[in-house]
């Protein structure tokens, strides 16, 4: 018995010794991810910028900004987009749910830069660059909130980084509070960011001023003085219209002097697959998701606006039958590169000029406003001058001009909402045969419902 005990003790000791010879055996650090101690500021900022390549900013912004308006029909086979087109969305609509998610993910990534970088010990980071990084991230956060508030109205405002899920139950905030946050971020960003940039994917003072102008125009109570002020600030930075309108949408015309902020696509690191969703040139000749309307086509034709029409849309023979058009069917032509290298314009000087015109009209200077429309915007595309008897007429002229100038760039729906014209315009829509499209748009459908998955998972959302 004693001998056995000795053997047992010896064997067990041997096993334990073998077992414990590797002390850190169970400490396995991530190999293909970085730990907080290993991260520096620049890649975090890049990570925040890359939200601009997500599904919302690449494709869905077309559905919510243009398909919802009188510029585009929904095509494809995606019932969620059909619902958006027809104003029958509910809280479970796939786009309503995913776009909300994308925007808040992007806000989270901006929040991380804004919360972590100020205290980050990164010896390679200069003080100037640190300020730029914070400014750019603040702009991005403002930009995402601007899209949220335009689509949903009241939304949660989140500026911190949670430690765990239980810190993620935020209540929605009034529209004014959201706008106040947007303006605060933009005012924070303005002194920090670079004045001008060659790569227009980077946020500059032009972008911040331009977004401030758009924000003050879009607010429930627009401040046209501020709009005017920030438009002038953009102009002061040296932006100007390019001579050839069509060149704006060519690969060769990227980052022009007219461009204030545009998302950059090189076709490999980032491919602009919107071209695949809107045209047969990338992904093949199947029924496309975004189809220009008879309304927008007719609007170009009524103005004799061939330059902008041809730059914006193209009639082609398709292998599929369209729901609204006989052959040939028009497709969008503003993102034409088959190698997915077309950039997406986000803020363009023509938009700012037309906002300036609108601000002038709204502050009593109808002639000043019409002067911009006629001598800057219309002259470039060789269209004759328009006249307006009064401020209301001028506003309608500007609205039409914005529709044609900025077609398919994701502005139309928000213009109709902020001018209070969405219900009238949409309910008057007719198909190619003059039959009403029967949209039955009502005031409660101007904003999306809070997504069902947010309601299901966030007990505080409506508190």
Position 281 contacts other proteins (CB under 8 A): yes
Strand 344-348 and strand 259-263: pairing? antiparallel
Q: Which of residues 348-387 bind other proteins (CB under 8 A)?
A: none
Position 155 contacts other proteins (CB under 8 A): yes
Binding part of the chain for other proteins, among 216-224, 384-392, 398-406, 452-460 by CB under 8 A, reads 452-460
Position 298 contacts other proteins (CB under 8 A): no
Q: How far is the CB of 150 from other proteins (least distance, A)?
A: 16
**Is-cis flag, bond preceding 290, omega within 30?**
no
Number of residues that bind other proteins (CB under 8 A): 98
DSSP result, 298-347:
HHHHHHT-HHHHHHHEEEE--SS--SS--SSEEEE-SS--TTS---EEEE
Q: How far is the CB of 461 from other proteins (least distance, A)?
A: 7
Position 170 contacts other proteins (CB under 8 A): yes
Position 31 contacts other proteins (CB under 8 A): yes
Position 443 contacts other proteins (CB under 8 A): no
Position 181 contacts other proteins (CB under 8 A): no
Q: How far is the CB of 25 from other proteins (least distance, A)?
A: 6
Tokens coding 180: 């106040």
> Measuring CA to CA, which residue among 209, 228, 227 is closest to residue 217?
227
Position 127 contacts other proteins (CB under 8 A): no
How far from chain centre, in Å, is Cα 61? 6
Position 158 contacts other proteins (CB under 8 A): yes
Could you give phi then psi for residue 313, rounded to 5 degrees? -145, 160
Q: How far is the CB of 126 from other proteins (least distance, A)?
A: 19
Q: Which of 2, 3, 124, 463 binds other proteins (CB under 8 A)?
A: 3
Residues 6+ away with beta carbon under 8 Å from 266? 341
Q: Which residues are paired to 156 by β-bridges? A: 172
Q: Which is nearer to other proteins, 11 or 375 (CB)?
A: 11
Q: How far is the CB of 84 from other proteins (least distance, A)?
A: 10
Cα–Cα distance for residue pair 171/26, rounded to 1 Å: 41
Q: Which is nearer to other proteins, 159 or 229 (CB)?
A: 159
Q: Which of residues 76-115 bind other proteins (CB under 8 A)?
A: 77-80, 82, 90-95, 97, 100-101, 104-109, 111-112
Position 118 contacts other proteins (CB under 8 A): no
Q: Which of residues 190-219 bind other proteins (CB under 8 A)?
A: none
Q: How far is the CB of 262 from other proteins (least distance, A)?
A: 17
Cα–Cα distance for residue pair 154/61, rounded to 1 Å: 19
Q: How far is the CB of 40 from other proteins (least distance, A)?
A: 9
Residues 6+ away with beta carbon under 8 Å from 416? 69, 70, 422, 425, 426
Q: Which residues are paired to 259 by β-bridges? A: 348
Cα–Cα distance for residue pair 415/420, rounded to 1 Å: 8
Strand 329-332 and strand 313-316: pairing? antiparallel
The 318-337 site mask, x for binding other proteins (CB under 8 A), equals xxxx-x--------------
């Amino acid at each position: 018995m004693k001998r056995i005990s000795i053997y047992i003790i010896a064997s067990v000791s041997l096993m334990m010794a073998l077992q414990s010879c590797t002390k850190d055996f169970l400490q396995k650090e991530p190999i293909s991810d970085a730990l907080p101690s290993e991260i520096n500021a620049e890649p975090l900022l890049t990570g925040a910028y890359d939200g601009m390549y997500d599904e919302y900013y690449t494709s869905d912004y077309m559905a919510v900004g243009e398909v919802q308006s009188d510029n585009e029909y929904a095509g494809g086979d995606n019932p969620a987009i059909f619902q958006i087109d027809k104003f029958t969305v509910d809280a479970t609509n796939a786009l309503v749910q995913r776009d909300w998610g994308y925007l808040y993910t992007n806000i989270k990534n901006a929040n991380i830069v804004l919360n972590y970088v100020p205290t980050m010990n990164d010896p390679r980071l200069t003080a100037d660059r640190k300020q730029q990084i914070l400014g750019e991230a603040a702009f991005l956060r403002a930009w995402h909130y601007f899209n949220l508030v335009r689509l949903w109205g009241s939304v949660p405002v989140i500026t911190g980084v949670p430690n765990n899920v239980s810190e993620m139950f935020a209540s929605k905030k009034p529209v004014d509070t959201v706008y106040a946050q947007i303006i605060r971020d933009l005012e924070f960003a303005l002194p920090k960011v670079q004045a001008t940039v060659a790569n227009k994917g980077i946020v500059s003072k032009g972008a911040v001023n331009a977004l401030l102008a758009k924000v003050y125009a879009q607010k429930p109570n627009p401040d046209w003085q501020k709009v005017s002020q920030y438009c002038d600030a953009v102009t002061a930075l040296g932006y100007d219209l390019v001579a050839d309108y069509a060149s704006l949408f060519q690969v060769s015309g990227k980052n022009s002097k007219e461009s204030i902020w545009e998302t950059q696509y090189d076709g490999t690191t980032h491919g602009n697959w919107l071209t695949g969703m809107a045209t047969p040139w990338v992904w093949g000749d199947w029924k496309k998701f975004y189809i220009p309307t008879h309304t927008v086509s007719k609007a170009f034709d009524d103005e004799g606006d061939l330059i902008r029409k041809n730059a914006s849309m193209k009639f082609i023979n398709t292998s599929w039958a369209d729901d609204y058009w006989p052959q040939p069917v028009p497709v969008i032509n503003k993102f034409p590169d088959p190698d997915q290298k077309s950039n997406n314009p986000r803020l363009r000087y023509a938009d700012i000029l037309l906002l300036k015109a609108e601000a002038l009209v709204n502050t009593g200077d109808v002639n000043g406003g019409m002067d911009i429309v006629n001598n800057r915007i219309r002259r470039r595309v060789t269209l004759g001058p328009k006249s307006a008897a009064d401020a209301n007429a001028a506003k309608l002229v500007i609205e039409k001009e914005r529709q044609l100038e900025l077609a398919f760039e994701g502005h139309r729906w928000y213009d109709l909402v902020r001018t209070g014209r969405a219900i009238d315009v949409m309910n008057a829509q007719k198909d190619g045969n003059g039959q009403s499209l029967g949209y039955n748009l009502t005031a409660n459908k101007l904003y999306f419902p809070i997504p069902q998955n947010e309601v299901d998972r966030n007990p505080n959302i409506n508190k």
